[in-house]
């Protein structure tokens, strides 16, 4: 149970304090092949950004 509470606290902290780019980079570090398995729309939703913002972030890489 504490593990899940810690995960939720980390997620909330990330949404509050990390930029969209930082959240995307952290997601890629944790799950390197995620963009090959999950749609960009779902990834954008998880990161709490628009799909357009995600496309701009990805385009800058």
**What's the CA gap between 8 and 54, in Å, rounded?**
22
Does residue 9 register a pLDDT over 60?
yes
Instruction: Name the residue ranges covered by the structural domains of the chain.
Output: 2-59
Residue 43 · residue 27 · CB < 8 Å: yes
Question: Which of 1-5, 14-18, 21-25, 41-45 is least confident?
Answer: 1-5
How many angstroms from the chain centroid is the CA of residue 23?
Answer: 5
Please give the pLDDT value at position 60.
77
Please give the pLDDT value at position 29.
96
Please give the pLDDT value at position 1.
78
Render pLDDT for 40-52 as a digit per residue (tens, 0 to 9).
999 999 999 999 9
Please give the pLDDT value at position 53.
97
């Amino acid at each position: 149970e504490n593990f899940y509470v810690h995960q939720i606290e980390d997620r909330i902290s990330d949404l509050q304090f990390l930029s969209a780019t930082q959240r995307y980079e952290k997601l890629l570090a944790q799950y390197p092949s995620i963009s090959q398995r999950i749609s960009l729309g779902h990834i954008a939703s998880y990161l709490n950004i628009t799909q357009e913002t995600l496309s701009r972030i990805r385009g800058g890489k």
